[in-house]
């Protein structure tokens, strides 16, 4: 599927979603957000997709933020509406039933970093710059950045990034745990695909339920989260997938997951 602002390509079980407005450094306008939302809705229910990689078109940017020419015109009600639209997209990405990996191939600023924060794991090219510069434009993060960044890197690191408004480079992002790894630009996509392919080798239902356990559990008190984990453990124990995984181990062969 190809739409104007978003490209969807396949590499076997991988879906590669590319934000495609390189002339505007892939800034997110309303149409691009709607296209990303529709793309993730389709991926979520597509059993032939095992994992998703999100990246940006061109060599310069992952996504350089929400489109400032749109933000500049907004008032109270459309400001709320705009934030809710971006938040709905990031929630959809975060709750996708497949692993979602960000390949941050350049600037990931504002809404761009917020997209990456909604992914399960993030890898950056060595020339990437990431940050939440909203306060330098007289606004605040609105697509989940003020909530997801502190949950990922701790409130001290997050508050410095959010209040100072400066971007950091890939090595600093790695140091504070904002990205899982850094690769040379020409290697980035192959390295991220290699990680995604390792994930796709695992049980698809197990991947989905493990992600649910982490994602939903993070929003609960520990005792409730442990109860959720036990319930999900019970559900996975009822599946043919579990039988296949265990049988394959005992028979010393690779599991044959029931992927389409
Ligand atoms: N919204 C709208 N347009 C954007 C954009 C954004 N967030 N980021 C970049 N662009 C556009 C520029 O306006 C420019 O368009 P033009 O050629 O029609 O003038 C084009 O993308 C290229 O950007 P440019 O600024 O010329 O590239 P650069 O290499 O000099 O600088 C950045 C790169 C990322 C440092 C700079 O573009 C920037 O600061 N962008 C805004 C980042 C930001 O604040 N994002 C958070 C928004 S909430």
114 catalytically annotated: yes
Does residue 96 carry a pLDDT above 70?
yes
Q: Which CATH superfamily is domain 6-200 in?
A: 2-enoyl-CoA Hydratase; Chain A, domain 1 (3.90.226.10)
Q: For the residues 43-65, what does the mean pLDDT come to?
A: 97
Query: If you average pLDDT over every residue of the chain, what do you get?
Result: 96
Pick left, alpha or beta for residue 41 (phi over 0 → left; psi -120 to 50 → alpha; otherwise beta). alpha
| pLDDT tens figures, 218-227 | 999 999 999 9
Residue 90 is predicted with a pLDDT of: 98
- Given this model, what pLDDT does residue 4 score? 79
Within a 10 A sphere around the Cβ of 109, how many other Cβ atoms?
Answer: 24
24 CB-side CA count, 13 A: 16
For the chain, the domains span 6-200, 204-250
The response to whether residue 24 sits with its C-beta less than 6 Å from ligand 1 reads yes
- Kindly report, residue by residue over 148-161, the tens digit of the pLDDT: 999 999 999 999 99
Q: What is the pLDDT of residues 1-50, one digit of tens each?
A: 455 799 999 999 999 999 999 999 999 999 999 999 999 999 999 999 99
Tell me how far the alpha carbon of residue 23 lies from the centroid of ligand 1, in angstroms: 9
> Do the Cβ atoms of 196 and 51 come closer than 8 Å?
yes
Task: Give the C-alpha separation, 132 to 142, whole Å.
Answer: 10
Quote the CA–CA distance of 121 and 103 in Å, as a whole number: 9
Q: What is the CATH number of domain 204-250?
A: 1.10.12.10
Asked, colleague to colleague, whether 6-200 and 204-250 share their fold, the answer is: no
Report, as an integer, the average pLDDT of 197-218: 96
Confidence of residue 258 (pLDDT cuts 50, 70, 90): confident
Nearest CA owner, ligand 1 atom 32: 64
Q: What spacing in Å lies between the alpha carbon of 63 and ligand 1's midpoint?
A: 10
Q: One of 35, 59, 94, 114 is an active-site residue; which one? A: 114
Share of the chain above pLDDT 70, in %: 98
Q: What angle do CA 123, 57, 146 make, to 5 degrees?
A: 50
Answer yes or no: is pLDDT of 140 > 80.
yes
């Amino acid at each position: 599927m190809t739409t104007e602002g978003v490209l969807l390509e396949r590499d076997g079980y991988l879906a590669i979603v590319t934000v495609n407005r390189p002339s505007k450094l892939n800034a997110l306008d309303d149409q691009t957000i709607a296209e990303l939302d529709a793309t993730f809705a389709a991926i979520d229910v597509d059993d032939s997709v095992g994992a998703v990689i999100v990246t940006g078109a061109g060599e310069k940017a992952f996504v350089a933020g929400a489109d400032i020419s749109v933000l500049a015109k907004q008032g109270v009600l459309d400001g709320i509406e705009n934030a809710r639209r971006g938040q709905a997209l990031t929630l959809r990405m975060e709750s996708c039933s497949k692993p979602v990996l960000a390949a941050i191939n350049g600037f990931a600023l504002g809404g761009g970093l917020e997209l990456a924060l909604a992914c399960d794991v993030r890898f950056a090219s060595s020339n990437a710059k990431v940050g939440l510069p909203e306060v330098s434009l007289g606004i605040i993060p609105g697509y989940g950045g003020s909530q997801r960044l502190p949950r990922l890197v701790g409130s001290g690191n997050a508050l410095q990034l959010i209040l100072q408004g400066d971007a950091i480079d890939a090595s600093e992002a790695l140091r504070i745990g904002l990205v899982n790894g850094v690769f040379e630009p020409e290697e980035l996509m192959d390295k991220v695909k290699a990680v995604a392919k390792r994930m796709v080798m695992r049980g698809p239902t197990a991947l989905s339920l493990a992600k649910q356990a982490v994602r939903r559990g993070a929003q609960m008190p520990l005792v409730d989260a442990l109860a959720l984990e036990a319930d999900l453990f019970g559900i996975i124990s009822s599946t043919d997938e579990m039988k296949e995984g265990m049988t394959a181990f005992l028979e010393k062969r690779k599991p044959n997951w029931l992927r389409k």
